[in-house]
Protein backbone atom coordinates (compact mmCIF):
# COMPACT_ATOMS: atom_id res chain seq x y z
CA UNK A 1 0.00 0.00 0.00
CA UNK A 2 1.21 3.50 -0.89
CA UNK A 3 1.89 6.18 1.69
CA UNK A 4 -1.17 8.39 2.30
CA UNK A 5 -1.05 11.31 -0.18
CA UNK A 6 -1.66 14.09 2.30
CA UNK A 7 1.04 12.61 4.57
CA UNK A 8 3.55 12.77 1.70
CA UNK A 9 2.49 16.32 0.78
CA UNK A 10 2.90 17.47 4.38
CA UNK A 11 6.30 15.82 4.82
CA UNK A 12 7.62 17.38 1.58
CA UNK A 13 6.25 20.77 2.62
CA UNK A 14 7.62 20.62 6.20
CA UNK A 15 10.97 18.97 5.58
CA UNK A 16 11.65 20.13 2.01
CA UNK A 17 11.94 18.03 -1.15
CA UNK A 18 15.29 16.42 -0.37
CA UNK A 19 14.79 15.57 3.31
CA UNK A 20 11.08 14.75 2.95
CA UNK A 21 11.80 12.59 -0.11
CA UNK A 22 14.52 10.71 1.80
CA UNK A 23 12.07 10.06 4.67
CA UNK A 24 9.38 8.72 2.31
CA UNK A 25 11.94 6.52 0.54
CA UNK A 26 13.17 5.15 3.90
CA UNK A 27 9.60 4.17 4.77
CA UNK A 28 9.69 1.70 1.88
CA UNK A 29 12.86 -0.07 3.04
CA UNK A 30 13.22 -3.11 5.32
CA UNK A 31 13.24 -2.12 9.02
CA UNK A 32 16.17 -3.11 11.23
CA UNK A 33 15.54 -5.79 13.86
CA UNK A 34 16.64 -5.23 17.42
CA UNK A 35 16.28 -6.78 20.84
CA UNK A 36 16.93 -5.68 24.40
CA UNK A 37 18.51 -8.29 26.65
CA UNK A 38 17.29 -8.93 30.17
CA UNK A 39 20.41 -8.22 32.28
CA UNK A 40 18.98 -10.30 35.16
CA UNK A 41 18.96 -13.36 32.89
CA UNK A 42 22.36 -12.94 31.26
CA UNK A 43 25.63 -13.86 32.87
CA UNK A 44 28.11 -12.27 32.99
CA UNK A 45 26.63 -8.75 33.17
CA UNK A 46 25.45 -7.57 29.78
CA UNK A 47 27.32 -4.27 29.82
CA UNK A 48 30.70 -4.66 28.23
CA UNK A 49 29.92 -7.96 26.51
CA UNK A 50 31.23 -8.36 22.99
CA UNK A 51 28.87 -9.70 20.34
CA UNK A 52 30.86 -12.98 19.92
CA UNK A 53 30.56 -13.73 23.65
CA UNK A 54 26.84 -13.08 23.50
CA UNK A 55 26.30 -15.41 20.55
CA UNK A 56 27.39 -18.35 22.70
CA UNK A 57 24.64 -17.52 25.18
CA UNK A 58 22.00 -16.75 22.52
CA UNK A 59 22.62 -19.14 19.62
CA UNK A 60 19.48 -18.02 17.74
CA UNK A 61 20.42 -14.36 17.62
CA UNK A 62 22.93 -12.97 15.10
CA UNK A 63 24.18 -9.93 17.00
CA UNK A 64 25.31 -7.17 14.63
CA UNK A 65 26.00 -4.16 16.83
CA UNK A 66 24.89 -2.40 19.95
CA UNK A 67 22.07 0.12 20.02
CA UNK A 68 24.20 3.15 20.91
CA UNK A 69 21.74 4.58 23.49
CA UNK A 70 20.94 1.37 25.33
CA UNK A 71 23.53 -0.89 27.01
CA UNK A 72 21.33 -3.97 26.70
CA UNK A 73 20.08 -3.16 23.18
CA UNK A 74 21.39 -4.97 20.09
CA UNK A 75 20.67 -4.81 16.37
CA UNK A 76 20.47 -8.22 14.77
CA UNK A 77 21.95 -9.05 11.37
CA UNK A 78 18.75 -10.92 10.45
CA UNK A 79 15.31 -11.61 11.83
CA UNK A 80 15.18 -15.07 13.44
CA UNK A 81 11.98 -16.94 14.15
CA UNK A 82 11.60 -15.72 17.73
CA UNK A 83 8.78 -18.20 18.40
CA UNK A 84 11.19 -21.11 18.06
CA UNK A 85 13.85 -19.69 20.37
CA UNK A 86 13.39 -20.89 23.96
CA UNK A 87 15.33 -17.81 25.24
CA UNK A 88 12.51 -15.63 23.93
CA UNK A 89 10.03 -17.64 26.02
CA UNK A 90 12.35 -17.48 29.04
CA UNK A 91 12.18 -13.66 29.01
CA UNK A 92 15.91 -13.46 28.37
CA UNK A 93 15.29 -10.68 25.83
CA UNK A 94 12.47 -8.53 24.51
CA UNK A 95 12.07 -7.82 20.81
CA UNK A 96 12.05 -4.04 20.91
CA UNK A 97 12.47 -1.54 18.16
CA UNK A 98 15.72 0.45 18.74
CA UNK A 99 14.32 4.01 18.78
CA UNK A 100 11.92 3.10 21.60
CA UNK A 101 14.84 2.04 23.77
CA UNK A 102 15.87 5.72 23.93
CA UNK A 103 13.41 6.45 26.78
CA UNK A 104 15.78 4.57 29.11
CA UNK A 105 18.66 6.80 27.99
CA UNK A 106 16.63 9.90 28.86
CA UNK A 107 16.42 8.65 32.46
CA UNK A 108 20.15 7.85 32.62
CA UNK A 109 21.08 10.75 34.90
CA UNK A 110 17.75 11.08 36.71
CA UNK A 111 18.70 8.64 39.48
CA UNK A 112 15.82 6.23 38.96
CA UNK A 113 17.18 3.29 40.96
CA UNK A 114 14.51 2.76 43.62
CA UNK A 115 12.07 5.10 41.87
CA UNK A 116 8.33 4.62 41.42
CA UNK A 117 7.46 4.88 37.72
CA UNK A 118 4.01 5.02 36.19
CA UNK A 119 3.89 3.75 32.62
CA UNK A 120 0.44 4.99 31.76
CA UNK A 121 -0.07 3.49 28.27
CA UNK A 122 1.94 0.35 28.70
CA UNK A 123 0.88 -2.63 26.52
CA UNK A 124 2.51 -4.74 25.26
CA UNK A 125 5.23 -3.81 27.74
CA UNK A 126 8.39 -2.90 25.83
CA UNK A 127 9.03 0.21 27.87
CA UNK A 128 7.64 -1.26 31.11
CA UNK A 129 10.25 -4.02 31.11
CA UNK A 130 12.98 -1.49 30.27
CA UNK A 131 11.97 0.71 33.23
CA UNK A 132 11.80 -2.36 35.49
CA UNK A 133 15.43 -3.15 34.69
CA UNK A 134 16.37 0.45 35.54
CA UNK A 135 14.56 0.88 38.88
CA UNK A 136 15.81 -2.40 40.36
CA UNK A 137 14.51 -4.32 43.34
CA UNK A 138 13.71 -1.29 45.51
CA UNK A 139 11.74 0.45 42.75
CA UNK A 140 8.30 -0.15 41.31
CA UNK A 141 6.87 0.17 37.81
CA UNK A 142 3.11 0.48 37.64
CA UNK A 143 2.15 -0.50 34.10
CA UNK A 144 -1.33 0.56 33.11
CA UNK A 145 -3.23 -0.40 29.99
CA UNK A 146 -6.77 0.72 29.27
CA UNK A 147 -7.56 -2.12 26.84
CA UNK A 148 -8.20 -5.34 28.81
CA UNK A 149 -7.07 -7.70 26.08
CA UNK A 150 -3.85 -5.79 25.61
CA UNK A 151 -3.44 -5.65 29.40
CA UNK A 152 -3.45 -9.46 29.50
CA UNK A 153 -0.57 -9.56 26.98
CA UNK A 154 1.23 -6.91 29.04
CA UNK A 155 0.82 -9.06 32.17
CA UNK A 156 2.30 -12.09 30.33
CA UNK A 157 5.32 -10.04 29.28
CA UNK A 158 5.75 -8.62 32.79
CA UNK A 159 5.69 -12.12 34.33
CA UNK A 160 8.21 -13.36 31.77
CA UNK A 161 10.59 -10.46 32.39
CA UNK A 162 10.30 -11.74 35.91
CA UNK A 163 11.84 -9.05 38.08
CA UNK A 164 8.97 -8.88 40.57
CA UNK A 165 9.07 -5.08 40.75
CA UNK A 166 6.06 -4.37 38.50
CA UNK A 167 2.30 -4.13 38.95
CA UNK A 168 -0.15 -4.20 36.05
CA UNK A 169 -3.42 -2.27 36.17
CA UNK A 170 -6.13 -2.17 33.52
CA UNK A 171 -7.79 1.21 34.03
CA UNK A 172 -8.69 4.46 32.44
CA UNK A 173 -5.73 6.84 33.06
CA UNK A 174 -7.98 8.96 35.26
CA UNK A 175 -8.38 6.14 37.81
CA UNK A 176 -4.62 5.44 38.15
CA UNK A 177 -3.83 9.13 38.30
CA UNK A 178 -6.07 9.48 41.34
CA UNK A 179 -2.84 8.35 43.01
CA UNK A 180 -1.84 11.98 43.03
CA UNK A 181 1.75 13.23 43.39
CA UNK A 182 2.70 9.58 43.90
CA UNK A 183 5.19 8.82 41.15
CA UNK A 184 8.80 9.95 40.61
CA UNK A 185 8.41 9.44 36.86
CA UNK A 186 5.27 9.32 34.72
CA UNK A 187 5.71 8.02 31.19
CA UNK A 188 3.05 8.62 28.55
CA UNK A 189 3.76 6.54 25.45
CA UNK A 190 0.66 7.90 23.84
CA UNK A 191 -1.71 6.20 21.42
CA UNK A 192 -1.06 8.09 18.18
CA UNK A 193 -1.59 8.12 14.42
CA UNK A 194 1.43 5.79 14.03
CA UNK A 195 3.22 7.46 11.10
CA UNK A 196 6.48 6.05 12.45
CA UNK A 197 5.03 2.56 11.92
CA UNK A 198 4.38 3.10 8.19
CA UNK A 199 7.45 0.98 7.38
CA UNK A 200 6.93 -1.87 9.85
CA UNK A 201 3.19 -2.16 9.77
CA UNK A 202 1.23 -1.73 6.49
CA UNK A 203 -2.00 -1.49 8.49
CA UNK A 204 -0.77 1.79 9.99
CA UNK A 205 -0.90 3.30 6.46
CA UNK A 206 -4.46 2.12 5.95
CA UNK A 207 -5.63 3.39 9.35
CA UNK A 208 -4.14 6.88 8.90
CA UNK A 209 -6.38 9.91 8.27
CA UNK A 210 -6.42 13.62 9.13
CA UNK A 211 -9.47 12.97 11.31
CA UNK A 212 -7.61 10.27 13.24
CA UNK A 213 -4.69 12.66 13.82
CA UNK A 214 -7.09 15.19 15.36
CA UNK A 215 -8.73 12.51 17.49
CA UNK A 216 -5.34 11.26 18.72
CA UNK A 217 -4.18 14.79 19.55
CA UNK A 218 -7.28 15.46 21.66
CA UNK A 219 -6.83 12.13 23.46
CA UNK A 220 -3.17 12.92 24.14
CA UNK A 221 -4.21 16.24 25.72
CA UNK A 222 -6.49 14.39 28.13
CA UNK A 223 -3.94 11.71 29.01
CA UNK A 224 -1.16 14.23 29.70
CA UNK A 225 -3.36 16.26 32.03
CA UNK A 226 -4.14 13.13 34.01
CA UNK A 227 -0.48 12.10 34.04
CA UNK A 228 0.43 15.46 35.53
CA UNK A 229 -1.73 14.84 38.61
CA UNK A 230 0.08 11.57 39.31
CA UNK A 231 3.54 13.15 39.14
CA UNK A 232 5.32 14.24 42.34
CA UNK A 233 6.74 17.76 42.54
CA UNK A 234 10.27 17.46 41.17
CA UNK A 235 9.29 14.35 39.18
CA UNK A 236 10.06 13.58 35.53
CA UNK A 237 7.43 13.58 32.77
CA UNK A 238 8.32 11.48 29.71
CA UNK A 239 6.17 11.83 26.60
CA UNK A 240 6.59 9.75 23.48
CA UNK A 241 4.77 8.79 20.29
CA UNK A 242 5.56 6.78 17.19
CA UNK A 243 4.40 9.52 14.84
CA UNK A 244 6.12 12.36 12.97
CA UNK A 245 3.02 14.50 13.21
CA UNK A 246 3.73 17.89 14.79
CA UNK A 247 0.12 18.19 15.91
CA UNK A 248 0.62 15.12 18.16
CA UNK A 249 4.23 15.84 19.12
CA UNK A 250 5.32 19.44 19.70
CA UNK A 251 1.68 20.54 19.29
CA UNK A 252 0.48 18.33 22.14
CA UNK A 253 3.37 19.52 24.31
CA UNK A 254 2.62 23.18 23.61
CA UNK A 255 -1.04 22.74 24.52
CA UNK A 256 0.02 20.88 27.66
CA UNK A 257 2.53 23.60 28.61
CA UNK A 258 -0.24 26.18 28.43
CA UNK A 259 -2.20 24.02 30.88
CA UNK A 260 0.69 23.30 33.31
CA UNK A 261 2.02 26.88 33.34
CA UNK A 262 5.06 27.73 35.47
CA UNK A 263 5.05 24.35 37.23
CA UNK A 264 6.54 22.76 34.11
CA UNK A 265 10.33 23.16 34.06
CA UNK A 266 13.23 21.81 32.03
CA UNK A 267 14.85 18.48 32.95
CA UNK A 268 18.55 17.80 32.65
CA UNK A 269 19.24 15.45 29.74
CA UNK A 270 22.32 13.40 28.85
CA UNK A 271 24.29 14.46 25.75
CA UNK A 272 23.13 13.07 22.41
CA UNK A 273 26.07 12.61 19.99
CA UNK A 274 25.37 13.94 16.46
CA UNK A 275 26.32 10.62 14.87
CA UNK A 276 23.23 8.99 16.38
CA UNK A 277 21.21 10.99 13.85
CA UNK A 278 18.59 12.09 16.39
CA UNK A 279 17.18 15.60 15.93
CA UNK A 280 17.24 17.36 19.29
CA UNK A 281 15.02 20.37 19.91
CA UNK A 282 12.93 22.22 22.45
CA UNK A 283 9.20 22.75 22.86
CA UNK A 284 8.86 25.18 25.74
CA UNK A 285 10.33 23.46 28.82
CA UNK A 286 10.49 20.11 27.02
CA UNK A 287 13.66 18.74 25.46
CA UNK A 288 12.50 16.92 22.34
CA UNK A 289 14.06 14.11 20.29
CA UNK A 290 12.96 13.11 16.79
CA UNK A 291 13.92 9.84 15.17
CA UNK A 292 13.64 9.73 11.39
CA UNK A 293 14.35 6.37 9.75
CA UNK A 294 16.46 7.98 6.99
CA UNK A 295 18.75 9.46 9.67
CA UNK A 296 18.66 6.93 12.54
CA UNK A 297 18.78 3.13 12.57
CA UNK A 298 15.29 2.60 13.98
CA UNK A 299 11.65 3.40 13.41
CA UNK A 300 10.02 6.82 13.48
CA UNK A 301 9.76 7.97 17.08
CA UNK A 302 9.35 11.14 19.10
CA UNK A 303 10.34 11.53 22.76
CA UNK A 304 10.28 14.50 25.12
CA UNK A 305 11.15 15.09 28.74
CA UNK A 306 10.50 17.81 31.33
CA UNK A 307 10.04 18.06 35.09
CA UNK A 308 7.41 19.24 37.51
CA UNK A 309 8.92 22.10 39.54
CA UNK A 310 10.09 20.89 42.97
CA UNK A 311 7.97 23.60 44.61
CA UNK A 312 4.86 22.79 42.56
CA UNK A 313 1.62 22.39 44.46
CA UNK A 314 0.24 18.95 45.29
CA UNK A 315 0.62 16.46 48.10
CA UNK A 316 0.55 12.67 47.73
CA UNK A 317 -3.03 11.43 47.82
CA UNK A 318 -4.31 7.92 47.39
CA UNK A 319 -7.88 6.99 46.52
CA UNK A 320 -10.03 5.30 49.12
CA UNK A 321 -9.39 1.59 49.66
CA UNK A 322 -12.35 -0.34 48.26
CA UNK A 323 -11.44 -3.81 49.35
CA UNK A 324 -8.90 -5.64 51.38
CA UNK A 325 -7.29 -8.38 49.34
CA UNK A 326 -4.13 -9.35 51.13
CA UNK A 327 -4.39 -12.04 53.78
CA UNK A 328 -1.42 -12.61 56.08
CA UNK A 329 0.44 -15.91 55.78
CA UNK A 330 1.26 -17.84 58.95
CA UNK A 331 4.79 -18.64 60.10
CA UNK A 332 4.98 -22.08 58.53
CA UNK A 333 3.74 -20.77 55.19
CA UNK A 334 6.19 -17.91 55.33
CA UNK A 335 9.06 -20.32 55.98
CA UNK A 336 8.03 -22.47 53.03
CA UNK A 337 7.85 -19.40 50.77
CA UNK A 338 11.22 -18.13 51.98
CA UNK A 339 12.80 -21.41 50.94
CA UNK A 340 12.03 -20.56 47.29
CA UNK A 341 13.70 -17.16 47.05
CA UNK A 342 17.26 -15.86 47.07
CA UNK A 343 16.03 -12.74 48.91
CA UNK A 344 13.97 -14.27 51.74
CA UNK A 345 14.46 -11.38 54.14
CA UNK A 346 13.92 -8.65 51.56
CA UNK A 347 10.46 -9.85 50.61
CA UNK A 348 7.01 -9.50 52.17
CA UNK A 349 4.53 -12.32 51.69
CA UNK A 350 0.75 -12.46 51.59
CA UNK A 351 -2.05 -14.51 50.12
CA UNK A 352 -4.48 -13.15 47.54
CA UNK A 353 -7.34 -15.64 47.11
CA UNK A 354 -5.53 -19.03 46.88
CA UNK A 355 -2.19 -17.75 45.64
CA UNK A 356 0.76 -16.64 47.75
CA UNK A 357 2.76 -13.68 46.52
CA UNK A 358 6.02 -12.01 47.40
CA UNK A 359 6.83 -8.31 46.98
CA UNK A 360 10.11 -6.59 47.60
CA UNK A 361 9.81 -4.83 50.92
CA UNK A 362 10.60 -1.32 49.67
CA UNK A 363 7.40 -1.15 47.58
CA UNK A 364 5.16 -3.74 49.22
CA UNK A 365 3.02 -1.10 50.90
CA UNK A 366 2.64 0.82 47.66
CA UNK A 367 1.43 -2.32 45.86
CA UNK A 368 -1.04 -3.02 48.67
CA UNK A 369 -2.45 0.51 48.39
CA UNK A 370 -2.79 0.15 44.62
CA UNK A 371 -4.46 -3.25 44.89
CA UNK A 372 -6.98 -2.01 47.40
CA UNK A 373 -8.14 0.78 45.11
CA UNK A 374 -7.65 -0.46 41.53
CA UNK A 375 -7.98 -3.68 39.54
CA UNK A 376 -4.36 -4.92 39.68
CA UNK A 377 -4.09 -7.93 37.41
CA UNK A 378 -0.59 -8.95 38.37
CA UNK A 379 2.08 -7.73 40.77
CA UNK A 380 5.24 -8.85 42.54
CA UNK A 381 6.10 -12.52 42.23
CA UNK A 382 3.32 -15.11 42.25
CA UNK A 383 4.85 -17.93 44.32
CA UNK A 384 1.92 -20.34 44.02
CA UNK A 385 -0.48 -22.30 46.18
CA UNK A 386 0.26 -24.16 49.38
CA UNK A 387 -0.97 -27.72 49.80
CA UNK A 388 -0.28 -29.40 53.11
CA UNK A 389 2.46 -26.86 53.78
CA UNK A 390 4.28 -27.44 50.44
CA UNK A 391 4.33 -24.97 47.59
CA UNK A 392 2.84 -25.88 44.25
CA UNK A 393 4.72 -23.20 42.30
CA UNK A 394 2.98 -20.74 40.01
CA UNK A 395 4.39 -20.72 36.44
CA UNK A 396 5.45 -17.09 37.05
CA UNK A 397 7.89 -18.15 39.78
CA UNK A 398 10.02 -19.96 37.19
CA UNK A 399 10.63 -16.65 35.35
CA UNK A 400 11.79 -14.84 38.48
CA UNK A 401 15.61 -14.57 38.48
CA UNK A 402 15.50 -14.50 42.30
CA UNK A 403 14.13 -18.06 42.40
CA UNK A 404 16.26 -20.22 44.68
CA UNK A 405 17.38 -23.01 42.37
CA UNK A 406 18.19 -25.18 45.40
CA UNK A 407 14.48 -25.42 46.20
CA UNK A 408 13.80 -27.71 43.25
CA UNK A 409 15.90 -29.86 40.88
CA UNK A 410 16.48 -28.39 37.43
CA UNK A 411 16.01 -30.39 34.23
CA UNK A 412 18.10 -28.53 31.67
CA UNK A 413 16.72 -29.67 28.31
CA UNK A 414 18.16 -29.41 24.82
CA UNK A 415 16.44 -26.90 22.51
CA UNK A 416 14.31 -29.46 20.68
CA UNK A 417 12.94 -30.98 23.90
CA UNK A 418 12.44 -27.50 25.38
CA UNK A 419 10.29 -26.58 22.38
CA UNK A 420 8.25 -29.75 22.91
CA UNK A 421 7.77 -28.64 26.52
CA UNK A 422 6.71 -25.14 25.35
CA UNK A 423 4.15 -26.73 23.01
CA UNK A 424 2.86 -28.79 25.95
CA UNK A 425 3.77 -31.97 24.10
CA UNK A 426 5.00 -35.07 25.91
CA UNK A 427 8.64 -35.12 26.94
CA UNK A 428 10.68 -38.16 28.01
CA UNK A 429 10.79 -38.70 31.75
CA UNK A 430 14.46 -39.69 31.96
CA UNK A 431 15.72 -36.08 31.88
CA UNK A 432 13.71 -35.28 35.03
CA UNK A 433 14.03 -36.25 38.70
CA UNK A 434 11.06 -37.92 40.35
CA UNK A 435 8.59 -35.26 41.56
CA UNK A 436 8.65 -31.55 40.79
CA UNK A 437 11.29 -30.12 38.41
CA UNK A 438 12.20 -26.69 37.13
CA UNK A 439 12.42 -26.93 33.33
CA UNK A 440 15.21 -24.92 31.73
CA UNK A 441 17.15 -24.60 28.51
CA UNK A 442 20.67 -23.13 28.56
CA UNK A 443 19.98 -22.80 32.29
CA UNK A 444 17.19 -20.25 31.60
CA UNK A 445 14.02 -21.30 33.37
CA UNK A 446 10.85 -21.86 31.36
CA UNK A 447 8.41 -23.45 33.80
CA UNK A 448 7.73 -26.49 35.93
CA UNK A 449 6.91 -30.14 35.30
CA UNK A 450 6.28 -33.10 37.55
CA UNK A 451 7.60 -36.58 36.94
CA UNK A 452 5.56 -39.46 38.30
CA UNK A 453 7.41 -42.64 37.34
CA UNK A 454 7.54 -42.81 33.54
CA UNK A 455 4.99 -40.04 33.10
CA UNK A 456 5.62 -36.28 32.97
CA UNK A 457 2.96 -33.79 33.92
CA UNK A 458 3.71 -30.70 31.82
CA UNK A 459 2.77 -27.64 33.93
CA UNK A 460 3.45 -25.02 31.24
CA UNK A 461 0.38 -22.73 30.98
CA UNK A 462 -1.93 -23.49 28.10
CA UNK A 463 -2.34 -19.78 27.40
CA UNK A 464 1.41 -19.39 26.70
CA UNK A 465 1.95 -22.57 24.72
CA UNK A 466 3.48 -22.39 21.22
CA UNK A 467 0.82 -23.12 18.63
CA UNK A 468 2.65 -22.05 15.48
CA UNK A 469 4.02 -24.85 13.28
CA UNK A 470 7.64 -24.74 12.10
N1 LIG B 1 4.32 1.60 25.79
C2 LIG B 1 3.99 0.46 24.98
C3 LIG B 1 5.24 -0.32 24.71
O4 LIG B 1 6.34 0.24 24.75
O5 LIG B 1 5.15 -1.55 24.52
C6 LIG B 1 3.23 0.85 23.72
C7 LIG B 1 2.02 1.67 23.99
S8 LIG B 1 1.05 2.05 22.60
C9 LIG B 1 2.02 3.21 21.76
C10 LIG B 1 -0.22 3.02 23.28
C11 LIG B 1 -1.18 2.28 24.19
O12 LIG B 1 -2.15 3.22 24.66
C13 LIG B 1 -1.96 1.17 23.52
O14 LIG B 1 -1.72 -0.05 24.19
C15 LIG B 1 -3.42 1.59 23.65
O16 LIG B 1 -4.30 0.51 23.92
C17 LIG B 1 -3.38 2.55 24.80
N18 LIG B 1 -4.53 3.52 24.78
C19 LIG B 1 -5.47 3.66 23.85
N20 LIG B 1 -6.35 4.61 24.22
C21 LIG B 1 -5.97 5.07 25.41
C22 LIG B 1 -6.48 6.04 26.30
N23 LIG B 1 -7.56 6.75 26.03
N24 LIG B 1 -5.82 6.23 27.44
C25 LIG B 1 -4.71 5.52 27.73
N26 LIG B 1 -4.17 4.61 26.92
C27 LIG B 1 -4.79 4.37 25.77
| pLDDT confidence bin for 44, thresholds 50/70/90 | low
Percent of the chain with pLDDT over 70: 99
* Residue-wise pLDDT tens digits, 284-296: 999 999 999 999 9
Residue 34 within any structural domain of the chain: no
- Residue 202: half-sphere exposure toward Cβ, Cα within 13 Å: 5
Q: What is the mean pLDDT of residues 35-50?
A: 82
Q: What's the chain's average pLDDT?
A: 96
What residue numbers bound the domain in which 437 lies? 408-470
User: How many CB atoms are closer than 10 A to CB 224?
Assistant: 23
Q: Helices 210-230 & 250-260, crossing angle to 10 degrees?
A: 40
- Tell me how many domains the chain contains: 1
Q: What is the pLDDT of residues 390-431, one digit of tens each?
A: 999 999 999 999 999 999 999 999 999 999 999 999 999 999
Question: Residue 412 falls within a domain, yes or no?
Answer: yes
For residues 346 and 413, the answer to whether their CB atoms sit within 8 Å is no
Tell me, yes or no, whether 438 lies in a domain: yes
**Tell me, what's the pLDDT at 453?**
98
Per the annotation, the verdict on 242 as an active-site residue is yes
Q: Is 157 a member of any domain?
A: no
Q: Give me the CATH number covering residue 419.
A: 3.10.450.720
Rounded to the nearest angstrom, the distance between the alpha carbon of 162 and the centre of ligand 1 is: 22
pLDDT bin (cut points 50, 70, 90) of residue 50 is confident
DSSP 261-272: GGGEE-------
Judge whether 100 lies within some domain: no
Query: Tell me: the pLDDT tens digits for 222-281?
Result: 999 999 999 999 999 999 999 999 999 999 999 999 999 999 999 999 999 999 999 999
- What's the pLDDT band for 202 if we cut at 50, 70, 90? confident
Does any domain span residue 317? no
The binding-site residues of ligand 1, defined as CB within 6 angstroms of any ligand atom, are: 100, 121-127, 145-147, 150, 173, 189, 191, 219, 223
* Residue 425 belongs to some domain of the structure: yes
- Give me the pLDDT at residue 223, please: 98
Does 294 map to a domain? no
Query: Could you identify the atom of ligand 1 that is nearest to the CA of residue 219?
Result: 23
Q: Helix, strand, or coil here: 13?
A: helix
Q: What is the mean pLDDT of residues 352-369?
A: 97
Q: How far is the CA of 124 from the centre of ligand 1 (A)?
A: 8
- What percentage of the chain carries pLDDT values higher than 90? 93
**CA-atom Rg of the chain in angstroms:** 23
- Say whether pLDDT at 115 is over 70: yes
SS3 412: strand
Are 238 and 188 in contact, with CB atoms under 8 Å apart? yes
Amino acid sequence: MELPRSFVARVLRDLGEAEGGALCAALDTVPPVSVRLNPAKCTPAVAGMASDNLSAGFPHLAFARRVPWCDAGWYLAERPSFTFDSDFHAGAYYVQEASSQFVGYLLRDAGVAGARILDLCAAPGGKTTLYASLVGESGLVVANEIDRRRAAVLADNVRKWGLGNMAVTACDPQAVCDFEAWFDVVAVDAPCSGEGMFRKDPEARAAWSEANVRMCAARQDTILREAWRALKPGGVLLYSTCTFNREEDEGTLERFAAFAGGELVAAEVPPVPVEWGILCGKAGAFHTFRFYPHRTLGEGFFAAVARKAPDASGRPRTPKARRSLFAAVDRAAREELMRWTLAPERMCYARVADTCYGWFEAQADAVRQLSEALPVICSGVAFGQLFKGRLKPDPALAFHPGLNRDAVPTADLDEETALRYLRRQDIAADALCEGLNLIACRNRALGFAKRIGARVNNMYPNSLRIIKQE
